[in-house]
Chain A
Amino acid sequence: KNQVEQSPQSLIILEGKNCTLQCNYTVSPFSNLRWYKQDTGRGPVSLTIMTFSENTKSNGRYTATLDADTKQSSLHITASQLSDSASYICVAWSGGSYIPTFGRGTSLIVHP
């Protein structure tokens, strides 16, 4: 069964600090992995997309890593801002059915 596990479930940090969110996935066959940001009451917005051959990808202050051997990914947020407060969702796409498997998300709260 395809699964995506994220940790921590929630995280509170001070503005300006860095943080790293984790994602473990079990998806076969694996196609690609994406990180999304979902503001409360809104739809997800794509941050990064990585295939098995890519180790790291950046999008502004967001840097995602992928280890296809251990099936782990991380999302690092640098110099956090209040607007970073949101749920961050890790999604793994399978190559066969092309159906996404969503993680439950990490709820990030950035305090001033």
Chain B
Amino acid sequence: GAVVSQHPSWVICKSGTSVKIECRSLDFQATTMFWYRQFPKQSLMLMATSNEGSKATYEQGVEKDKFLINHASLTLSTLTVTSAHPEDSSFYICSAEVAGVSGGYNEQFFGPGTRLTVL
């Protein structure tokens, strides 16, 4: 149980185009999903917190107009990188939160990640 999928697993696009990444919780409903970005040999950096049916909360320094997040249902959140540039090339990982599974604490189950390369 508690499987999170991401699609696509990798994508290569031209500079200036937009790319959409999907994050799905396959066997559970997640009120809250998170989007992270990870550069090589760096730690995961939280980009935004996505709550179903409401606007996402972005971390400081993350441009909300560039990284559009939609959480239309309890099993799907999407991240759209608009007008992508080479510096946006990174590994994007989502996670879905399940309440009270680890000793009463919420647990985040991570997706397998999406490798974005912008040429």
Contacts and interface: CB of A to CB of B under 8 A. Distances in A.
Contact of B107 (A31, A46, A51, A104): A46
B46 interface: yes
A84 B42 CA distance: 20
Interface residues of B, number: 23
B112 interface: yes
Nearest to A44: B110
Q: Interface majority SS on B: helix, strand, loop or mixed?
A: strand
Contact of A100 (B41, B46, B103): B46
Contact of A32 (B44, B91, B105, B109): B105
Interface string B102-116: 110111111111010
Interface string B85-111: 000000101010000001101111111
Contacts of B54: none
Contacts of B103: 49, 51
Nearest to A100: B46
A42 B5 CA distance: 11
Interface residues of A, number: 22
B5 to A, nearest CB: 10
B4 interface: yes
Interface of A: 4, 31-32, 36, 41-46, 49, 51, 89, 93, 98-100, 102-105, 107
30 contacts: A4-B43, A31-B105, A32-B105, A41-B91, A41-B115, A42-B112, A42-B113, A43-B4, A43-B6, A43-B93, A43-B95, A43-B111, A43-B112, A44-B93, A45-B110, A46-B102, A46-B107, A46-B109, A49-B105, A49-B107, A51-B103, A89-B44, A93-B105, A102-B43, A102-B44, A102-B45, A103-B43, A104-B41, A104-B42, A107-B41
